[in-house]
Amino acid sequence: MDLETIRNRLLANNVGQIYFSGSFLRLKNSVTFRRVFAGTFWNALLNIYGKGISFIGTVIIIRLLGREAFGEFGMLNTTISMFGMFTTFSISQTATKYIAQYRNSDKNKAGRIIGLSFLFSASLGILVFLMVSIFADVIAEKSLNAPNLSGYLKIMAIGLLFGAVNGAQNGIISGFEAFKTNALVGVLSGTVLTVFKVLLTYFYGFRGAVFGMTAEPVFTYLITMIVTRKVMHRNQTRILFKGALSELTILFNYSLPSLLTGLLVFPTNWYTLTILAKSDGGYSEVGAYNAANQWYNVMIFIPYILVSTFLPVFSEMLSKNQKDEVNRIIKNALLLITAIFILLSLIFLVFGEKITLIYGSEFKGTGFLLAVAVFTLLPQAIIIVLSNLVAAMDKMWFVFWVNAVWCIAFIGFTYLFISSGALGLLLARLAAFLGSLILMGYYYHNWKTTQEKVIR
């Protein structure tokens, strides 16, 4: 049975339309499809294995530290991650886009963009490192309500220096589409680092966990640097610092909306967690929240992997006015996502209490938190799908404003529900996503209605 026969039978039974729609259907002799599929496959492998091995390591660390100590460790990690996102959030995507665009047509321009990426990320990394180091005492005392954590915060800030440049390196690797190499190296380094962090925690307790998290970005930077240089050499591209600043407009024009979004979203997540830390339950509730949030962080990759090729595909289809095909893909994706997360939510609702046993007896009675965390992914996943449509239509500022509303709603609902501890914070985030979904759904409804009127 040839490919065309399989395709026709699938379409006749209304199955697989999400994959066999519009220009994405031209599987025969389609170099673009093979590139997209290969990239999606290797990215999926890296995400699934990486999150899986990290999850196992985190469970072991939780059991070694206990509920309250893990709450403090999770707060430290969240704080450093928030500052780290400032240094990597936009530069990685910018490097990926423009290196992919110019790697063949203008290697000198690609080299200047690589140089700019390193200059910008290193400068930003040094700036953020100094800020965290200088204000660590204030952050620990005033924001974390834990003055004893200031020293650990200064230690973990060292990782920001290396994590910033590593964000640029990852963007360069993706820009050259070296997904396979990146995935294989990521699997190896992820395994080594997880074992290393667990051993440090086992032998040195809380301090070992902190040193393990600090060493991770340093080790990752060194490995990724070797990979980046090999990928650049293979593509006959050099780093050009001379003239790099002439490409500054590219950096700011493309990165600004996503950078501003990061400046809103990441601090909001961190700030609401500090509200929980200062509540009556303190770091015991933070530990329960982080344990539930672990499942949220593991499963968020599902919608991102599913839509990883949507943006380029939607952009191409919309340029050819194939809006009905785009709408068909969106409908199928929404149905699939809804089915997946309703099923997962039901599983965690029924078995959540038994799942919490892996964390130890201290987490007894927190099973419902897991179900709420997983159910939150349903509205968020729908927003992710619709955001790809909005981005393909060059409406990134609308995405920014939707995120701004989400941040305001999340903080407001947190103050409203915080008396319920970890559950209150999870419900606040769920309510904020439902509000954002209304805005994004209204935009999609108007777009779909407009297309239907045009067809008529």
> What is the tens place of the pLDDT at every residue in 95-120?
776 777 777 778 998 899 899 989 98
In-domain check, residue 268 = no
Q: What is residue 313's predicted lDDT score, i.e. its pLDDT?
A: 61
Give the mean model confidence (pLDDT) for residues 140-161: 88
Is residue 7, in this structure, part of any structural domain at all? no
Q: Is 3 contained in some domain?
A: no
Q: Which pLDDT score is estimated for 135?
A: 92
Q: Is residue 22 part of a domain?
A: no
For the chain, the average pLDDT equals: 82
pLDDT band at 28 (very low <50, low <70, confident <90, very high): very low
CA 338, CA 343: separation in Å to the nearest integer? 8
The more confident residue out of 232 and 98 is 232
Tell me the pLDDT band of 311, cut-offs 50, 70 and 90.
low
pLDDT bucket at 253, cuts 50 / 70 / 90: low
Domain match, 219 and 295 both: no
> At residue 4, does pLDDT exceed 70?
no
From residue 126, how far is each of 157, 214, 387 by CA, in Å?
10, 16, 32
- Together in a domain, 160 and 246: yes
Asked if residue 322 and residue 235 are part of one domain, the reply reads no
**Is residue 224 located within the same domain as residue 302?**
no
In a domain, 263, yes or no: no
- Residue 53, number of CB atoms within 10 A of its CB: 17
Whole-number pLDDT of residue 262: 77
Q: What is the mean pLDDT of residues 324-338?
A: 84
Res. 447: pLDDT tops 90: no
Q: What is the mean pLDDT of the segment spanning 235-261? A: 82
Considering its fold, how many domains does the chain have in total? 2
Shared domain check, 208 and 125: yes
Is 353 a member of any domain? yes
**296 and 249 assigned to the same domain:** no
Question: What's the pTM value of the predicted model, to 2 decimals?
Answer: 0.67
Residue 229 vs residues 61, 95, 160, 255, 290: alpha-carbon distances, Å: 34, 15, 21, 24, 37
Verify that 301 and 244 share a domain, yes or no: no
Tell me whether residue 4 is in a domain: no
Task: Judge whether 10 lies within some domain.
Answer: no
Q: Between 195 and 454, name the one with better pLDDT.
A: 195
Range of the domain at 450: 279-456
